Amino acid sequence: MAGIFIFSEDPQLAQQLLTPGLALKASLGQPLVALTASSADAQTLASLGADRVVMLKAARTTPEALAPAIADLLAKEQASVVLVGGTLRGRHLAAHVAAALKAGMTTDAKVLAIRDGKLEAQRILYAGLAVCEEVVALPAVATIPQRTFLAPAAAAQAGTVETLEVQADARVVVESTTPVESEGVDITAAIKLVSVGRGFGKKEDLFLARDLAGALKAEISCTRGVAEDEHWLPIERYIGISGQTVKPELYLAVGLSGQVQHMVGCRESKVIVAVNKDEQAPIFEAADYGIVGDLYQVLPLLTAALKS
Amino acid sequence: MPKLLVCYKWVLNEQDIKIRPEDLSLDTSRAKGKISDFDRNAIEEASLIVEQQGGTVDALSYGTPAVKQSVKDALSRGPNRLLWIGDPQAEDADALVIANVLAAAIRKAGPYDLILCGEGSSDMFYQQTPARLAALLGLPCVTFVAKMTLEGDVLKATRKLGDCTEQVSVTGPAVVSVLSEINKPRIPSLKQVLGAAKKPSEEIAIGSLGLAADELQPRAVRKSAKGFLMNRKNIIFKESDAAANVAKLVASLAAEGLA
């Protein structure tokens, strides 16, 4: 049977997975099969190049609850490559599937190819300090982060859709689910960002960054410490390995030291500017332009200069 | 009384790793070892549970023979006993091998009421071990936990999943992975450090786990790790006159078409 299988509970991510899936189909000459628990997604995935879509019906359809059933299905179908959308739930599912298939797995792969009958992937190590090539024997599992690939164009011929009743894993009982309150700001779409760190003494002082952002027509982002420890800004604005990844035209970092865990989220920005009072801070090595100085003095001057 | 197990990884401190500019290879010669950051949260959480409600915590680590260096640090953070497996081949282990070894050691030393892990290791950050362990051991798995309580054999946990939080409960043995926000790992006191020397630690020989050669064979092989090169202009204005620095920066931004 064999085949390349994709799964993501996130509709956009599921579509994006078809792009590397189609490339693997071309290299391996095996059908591309999409698994989904949503009937709306099933039709879309069939129209975008999946040869087959298996629509899973179960009492519970979170990826974690579907993991054992998906693992059984993939073992039966003798899957050669399994691509899973790299959400947190997706990573849980993928690791379960990899263990059940006795398969190697690469987490958050950026580039995928088949070479010498193995899956070659690129991913980061040491929180972004290094990049490595990883070679995974087949069957192989990979998680792929959001927006790594664009969704493919509509296929000439739509794939088939079939329904499969499966048993959900009900051992973990979900008592309630609460959506995270969102301001609805997508900082990954911002063209310019003013990013703040704990060089600011208190939350009230962030107006200095807001004024600067206003003058630049920029959005505000921040470090993990500012969002998670200080709670000065919402989680969705923090940049870093466990937060957002951004590629703006301008990334203006104020009062943040530039630790590798933060920089991995912004280092593909076109221009990076740093304002920091510590000349030894690593942010200056990662910056195109920088000012060594007290942000409380520099920011008002910079805002005024940009306005005039 | 709950019997807990916490797994941790002894990793190189990434702050000590230098990139050789000539070929971007990694110079780890000066890198010291540390208990992986998120695993410290797992150790802390397990220790808090037994300090509050009784029971015991075993700590378990698989790594190269260097893992022996972690014994004192790990035990001073709360666990009652340490089990470690030092194997030169662990250098090349992938998540499949790591989970196979840990699962075999758990079958030997267990059973446990709860197995805790960090959400991922600070070197590879595969984030696979907890769900792989649960699958191998046939246990339910609760990942990305920001808050948890253990009442009898019922675990109640709050998971943080990016776009939502989920309140879950599970009865009986389970594998849990914790987020860094769940607690603040202790800085061991002198008394805790001295006490650690009196706690039992035991090496488990990899050969005693009954694993087949196939189970110790990595499927994911790392090649050619290269440092990420920051190729930036590094034009830094650092005169004492802040206004002059600002004027130069604004001119530079204007030249880039950004102001």
Q: Is 80 exceeded by the pLDDT of residue A76?
A: yes
Output the CA angle B117-A10-A263, nearest 5 degrees. Answer: 60
What percentage of chain A reaches a pLDDT higher than 70? 99
Alpha helices in chain B (DSSP H): 37-53, 71-76, 95-109, 129-137, 190-196, 242-255
Q: pTM for the complete prediction?
A: 0.88
Q: How far is A45 from chain B (nearest CA, A)?
A: 23
- Write out chain B residues lying below 8 Å of A169, CB-based: 140
Consecutive H or E run containing A94: helix A88-100
pLDDT, one tens digit per residue, over B189-217 is: 999 999 999 999 999 999 999 999 999 99
**How high is the pLDDT of residue A125?**
86
Best mutation site among B127, B136, B165, B169 for testing chain A: the one with the most A CBs within 10 Å?
A: B127
Stretch 216-255 of chain B: residues touching chain A, C-beta under 8 Å: 218-228, 230, 232-238, 242-243, 245-247, 249-250, 252-253
Same fold, A4-165 and A187-307: yes
Q: What is the mean pLDDT of chain A?
A: 93
Q: Please state, in angstroms and rounded to a whole number, the distance separating the CA atoms of residues B89 and A17.
A: 34
pLDDT, one tens digit per residue, over A25-75 is: 999 999 999 999 999 999 999 999 999 999 999 999 999 999 999 999 999
The two structure tokens encoding residue A49: 């190049």
Is there a contact between A302 and B96 if contact means CB atoms under 8 Å apart? no
- CATH class of the region A4-165: alpha beta
Q: Please state, in angstroms and rounded to a whole number, the distance separating the CA atoms of residues A144 and A150.
A: 12
Q: Is 70 exceeded by the pLDDT of residue A1?
A: no
Q: Average of pLDDT values for B119-124? A: 90
Q: Is the minimum CB–CB distance between B143 and chain A shorter than 8 Å?
A: yes
**How high is the pLDDT of residue A199?**
94
**Which of A142 and A234 is assigned the larger pLDDT?**
A142
| Of the options 3.40.190.10, 3.30.950.10, 3.40.50.1220, 3.30.565.10, the CATH number for the domain spanning A187-307 | 3.40.50.1220
Q: Average of pLDDT values for A215-233? A: 92
Residue type at position A301: L
pLDDT, one tens digit per residue, over A196-214 is: 999 999 999 999 999 999 9
**Which of B14 and A94 is assigned the larger pLDDT?**
A94
Q: Which DSSP state fits B97? A: H
Is there a contact between A293 and B242 if contact means CB atoms under 8 Å apart? yes
pLDDT, one tens digit per residue, over A164-181 is: 999 999 999 999 999 887
**How high is the pLDDT of residue B248?**
94
List the domain boundaries for chain A.
4-165, 187-307
Residue A265: CB atoms within 10 A of its CB come to: 25
pLDDT, one tens digit per residue, over A269-295 is: 999 999 999 999 999 999 999 999 999
Q: Please state, in angstroms and rounded to a whole number, the distance separating the CA atoms of residues A217 and A194.
A: 10
- Write out chain A residues lying below 8 Å of B123, CB-based: 125-126
